Amino acid sequence: MSAGTGGGLLVAGTTSDAGKSVVTAGICRWLVRQGVKVAPFKAQNMSLNSFVTREGAEIGRAQAMQAQAARVEPTALMNPVLLKPGSDRSSQVVLMGKPVGEMSARGYHGGRQEQLLGTVLECLAELRGTYDAVICEGAGSPAEINLRRTDIVNMGIARNARLPVLVVGDIDRGGVFASFFGTVALLSPEDQEFVAGFLVNKFRGDVSLLEPGLDMLENLTGRRTYGVLPFQHGLGIDEEDGLRVSLRGSVRESEVSSPVGEDILRVAVCAIPLMSNFTDVDALAAEPGVVVRFVDRAEELVDADLVVVPGTRGTVRALEWLRERGLADALARRAAQGRPVLGICGGFQILGEHIEDEVESRAGQVEGLGLLPVRVRFAREKTLTRPVGEALGEPVEGYEIHHGVAQVTGGTPFLDGCRVGEVWGTHWHGSLESDGFRRAFLREVAAAAGRRFVPAADTSFGSLREEQLDRLGDLIEEHADTDALWRLIESGAPTGLPFIPPGAPA
């Protein structure tokens, strides 16, 4: 394959969670294996699941993982606008990796978003000037016609940057043909010119049974389907939104390999409101014999060997939620019994004695759970760092994203936080991805829980992540028309694509 200069593609979707992030990562991995210098890009991302780049910029974790798929270092250019919800109506706006303030949805879509279009296009142009190809990810659906005037992430950027658009549909949900047709038919004639075709995601069964429908879809729209990706378990990469895991009956649970020792370890993660970076526990779930589940009731902590209180964009709100549901009392009982509890970032702050917050919740002085000798004061400046250190005799790397400044007044030092008995706390996200440290920590947990659990000696979270990204690349290589995809990336959408009525106003 010969690499063109500055080629591009926008991966859109019929809905949120159609598979845009996964397909974007898969295309990046396929391209880099062909010798193409490729980068991911998402103009605007709404997510509580974020990452810190080496230059200290905060971006969506999905874009960081897509950069890993492309085998390049993630930068703020790859996700210039990040929205971090703080409530149903407002979000923190992170621009080029730094927070610039809170804004309501009405205020953002009422003018601020349009002002950011120039910044977004400059970032994309810089990437296209550096890489052979840039694979862009859209957000939600391009057919959200109520937001089209201010759109900077779907057809707004496709039109301005003249990017061909590939629309991904999740056939596992049903109604994929109607979704494909309706997505195109709700776009203006000017937007439709850039919609090149479709990609079916999560198909189960015999593809030959699907092909007549794909032929009819092409006859109806004048647009072909570029591939049918089969359903495969375990291919999600650092989802943008952790809110769904807090719903009863819809929790994430790990697929558990057989334990090395005689026992398994049960990990319960408190599904607190505005949960952020819930992927911190993915490394635990990767360990053979470790069962990870998200819970929201006190009785679900009883049989847990380890309880994790994860990060949150609303520390005070999460603290209130824990108290309302009886989880705060259950955590206190665990601490008194010497049973392991780990608090990460916002969860660490919750476990402390005292919180002074005039920034996030503006609640003033609030009493924490008092399980760790820590006092927290929220600063307006956000801490965004990539610390490196040692704990439990093992090297550790992590990243920090928080407004809360912790004053540790006692206990045993643990990363940037402390430990008292079997209660641990730190601001470091991602620390459990350090294999030696994770194994040492799990040995401590197993001993305290009285479990004959032995961490596997050869589990490498980094290698498992690479295998996962390779599987995504395999999906594209084996089940998509890669020659046709490359023509799109190199040359843009085919000319003469028909208009599908009724369309939306220009």
Annotated catalytic residue: which of 402, 403, 427, 429? 429
Structure tokens at 17: 């969670």
Residues 6+ apart with CB under 8 A from 152: 43, 44, 81, 113, 114, 116, 117, 120
SS (H, E, C) 67-90: HHHCCCCCCHHHCCEEEEECCCCE
- Name residue, tokens 């969670």: 17
Bridge partners (DSSP) of residue 91 are: 85, 103
Annotated catalytic residue: which of 28, 345, 427, 479? 345
**What order of strands is seen across the sheet that includes strand 265-270?**
290-295, 265-270, 306-309, 341-344, 423-426, 417-420, 412-414
Contact status, residue 104 vs residue 175, Cβ threshold 8 Å: no
Q: Is 109 a catalytic residue?
A: no
- Burial degree of 88 (CB within 10 A; 0-12, 13-18, 19+): exposed
Question: What does 451-490 look like in DSSP terms, one character per residue?
Answer: ------TT--HHHHHHHHHHHHHHHHHHHB-HHHHHHHHH
SS (H, E, C) 117-169: HHHHHHHHHHHHHHCCEEEEECCCCCCCHHHHHHCCCCHHHHHHHCCCEEEEE
Q: Is 270 a catalytic residue?
A: no
Structure tokens at 427: 């601001």
Bridge partners (DSSP) of residue 401 are: 384
Question: What span, in angstroms and rounded, lies between the C-alpha atoms of 61 and 378?
Answer: 24
One-letter amino acid at 260 equals V
Active site residues: 345, 429
